[in-house]
Structures are given as C-alpha cells and as structure tokens.
Structure 1
Amino acid sequence: MATSTTEAPWHSAFPSPRNSKPESKTREELLRMLKNSPISEKRDFVIVDVRRTDYEGGSVKGSINLPAQTLYPTIPTLYQIFKAAGVKELIWYCGSCGGRGPRAAGWFADHIEDVGDVGMKSMILEGGIKGWVKGGSEYTECVEGYIESAWVKNSV
C-alpha cells in the first residue's frame, strides 16, 4: 500500500511575517534608482535576490543573492551590516514576488519595526525578476549574466 507524504514547505520552520503585503517598488522606480546611482558610487539601497534553485538567467545588476530558505536566522546580523553601511531601503525579489520575496521583505520589515528603526524600509520589487525582464531591453541591459534562453523558457 502506497503512503502519501506531504513535505512541509521550507518556510514552515519560521514564523509568518506580521505584514504579508510589504511595500513595493515598481521596475520603473528601481531602474531610475539604478541609473541615478551607479554601482561605483555609495548607495543607500540594497537589492536582494532571494532565489536559490531557480537562480538562472541572470540577476538585477548590483543585487546580492541571499536565498530565502536560509535568510531568517541571519536577519539580525544582516540588519546590523546594512545599518552600519547606511542602507535606507532594501528591495527584495524572487521569480515573481508572489512568495519568497514578500516573505523575506516581511521578515526584515518585522525586524526593522522590532528594533524601532524608522529610517530603513524593506520592500519588494513588483513582479520580481520575471516582471523586470518583461520590461524590455532597457531592463535586460541591467541584468548581470543575462541569458535570453532562460527567459524564453520561463515566459509562461
């Protein structure tokens, strides 16, 4: 007799964020920010890609990869690093910003609130990396390691 096992989702080991719908940035707003603040200059924002196994086809230029599955326990340390660096905005994204991105942004926003920081914001990139790439060449030019075939495959 076959038994059915349902594996718990990765995030079930962590509390749900208090705010499941964090603030967001549109791709147009983020593109303006990137154009007004080249990577060679000090920025007051950080872009975070939370993809892990689906991390293909490139990432928004200047973003760092912090997979959502390992993020939660590191939030206090990351907060201290970002605070010391003068970061005012964190923009999180995953594939489409329907799960991991909002969860990561929510967890980080909870921490910001818990420490009483009113100068830092945690938000998502609307539409995630898929929405970014759909913006056309102006956006794909701002994708580090852009591989067009990965996006054609994922354009469902």
Structure 2
Amino acid sequence: MEPEQPWHTAFPAPKTTEPASLTREEVLHKLRAGGIGREFILIDVRRNDYEMSFQGGTIRGAINLPAQSLFPTIPTLYQLFKNSGVRYIIWYCGSSRGRGTRAAGWFNDHIQEQGDENMKSVILSGGVKGWANAGEDFVKFMDGYISEYWTQFQS
C-alpha cells in the first residue's frame, strides 16, 4: 500500500516560495482603518482545523477558502478582486508557514502572469495562532474568540 500523498501534490508547486508578508500589527492597522473588502481582503485557508477551531474564533472579516480546493479558483478570484479594486490579498492558516504560504505563492504567480503591478499577495506573519495570542488589541478583532482554545498554542 502506497503512502497517501500530500494534498498539494495534485497541483503545481508555486514559483513564489517566499511570498511577501505583513505583520499582525500592519494587518490590525488596516482593519482599524476599515479598508477590508475595498483595499484588502483576508483569506483563511484552513479546512478541517478551521471547522474545529472556529470554536476558538477567526479574524473578523476573513473569508474561508480552504487551500485544498483553492488552486483551480485562482483565475476567478483574481478577476473578482481586480474588478473590486482590492490591492492586498492577505492569506493565513494556523501559522502561515504551510498552506498560507503556498496559497499566497500561487496567487502571486497568477498576479505576475497577468502583469499586474498593483495587486499584492502576502501572508499574515504568524497566522491566526500568532494573532490570537498577541493580546487584547488583536482578539478584539476576532469573531467567536474563546481564549481557552488558543492557550494550547502559547509558547
């Protein structure tokens, strides 16, 4: 019996392997300024852990687009974001070191293929775990936040 392959092997590897990032402080500033849906969009790419951890909360205003089904939708998402004037696509998963980085890389590859110099595909440094454990200023911008869930991820 062959071992099961990781989900992402069904898709090409992103050319962009180290996408740009924004700190949680930079994203918090953007949220406070009220530009979500206009200047930027937050995308949570978790799937099973999103469903399980939604009890712990997610960043306010983020949409959930699981990484496992993202790749085929990139051209459509790009066109939607472009038509809406969105400049920053901010991706995150639990830590933004796996799925978030891969999603941001794929999307950045597509942006480059379009010759678009105005749109940016970036990751949220530290992901939702870092956000949820960064203090009161950050958890105020979470929907469904339950502190007990996030304590398991504190260092």
TM above 0.5 = yes
- How far apart, CA to CA, are the structure 1 residues paired with 2:134 and 2:64? 21
Residue of structure 2 equivalent to 1:17: 14
Larger radius of gyration: 1
Look up the SS of the partner of 1:54 in the other structure. Answer: helix
Q: Which has the larger helix fraction? A: 2
Residue of structure 2 equivalent to 1:104: 103
Residue of structure 2 equivalent to 1:94: 93
**TM-score, structure 2 length as denominator?**
0.93
Output one character per residue of 1:125-156: Cα deviation in whole Å (capped at 9) or x when no partner: 00000111121111111111112222123436
1:50 aligns with 2:49: no
- How far apart, CA to CA, are the structure 1 residues paired with 2:9 and 2:153? 27
Output one character per residue of 1:111-138: Cα deviation in whole Å (capped at 9) or x when no partner: 0000111110000000000111121111
- How far apart, CA to CA, are the structure 2 residues paired with 1:150 and 1:54? 12
- How far apart, CA to CA, are the structure 2 residues paired with 1:108 and 1:137? 31
- How far apart, CA to CA, are the structure 2 residues paired with 1:141 and 1:6? 42
1:84 maps to a residue whose letter is: N
1:73 aligns with 2:72: yes
Look up the SS of the partner of 1:131 in the other structure. Answer: helix
Runs (5+) with no aligned partner, structure 1: none
Look up the SS of the partner of 1:47 in the other structure. Answer: strand
Residue of structure 2 equivalent to 1:33: 30
Aligned-CA RMSD value: 1.3
- How far apart, CA to CA, are the structure 2 residues paired with 1:155 and 1:31? 20
Residue of structure 2 equivalent to 1:146: 145
Deviation of the 1:58 alpha carbon: 1.2
- How far apart, CA to CA, are the structure 2 residues paired with 1:38 and 1:26? 16
**TM-score, structure 1 length as denominator?**
0.92
Look up the SS of the partner of 1:90 in the other structure. Answer: strand
- How far apart, CA to CA, are the structure 2 residues paired with 1:43 and 1:7? 40
Number of aligned positions between the proteins? 151
- How far apart, CA to CA, are the structure 2 residues paired with 1:155 and 1:10? 28
Runs (5+) with no aligned partner, structure 2: none
- How far apart, CA to CA, are the structure 2 residues paired with 1:114 and 1:59? 31
Deviation of the 1:43 alpha carbon: 2.2
% identity of equivalent residues: 54
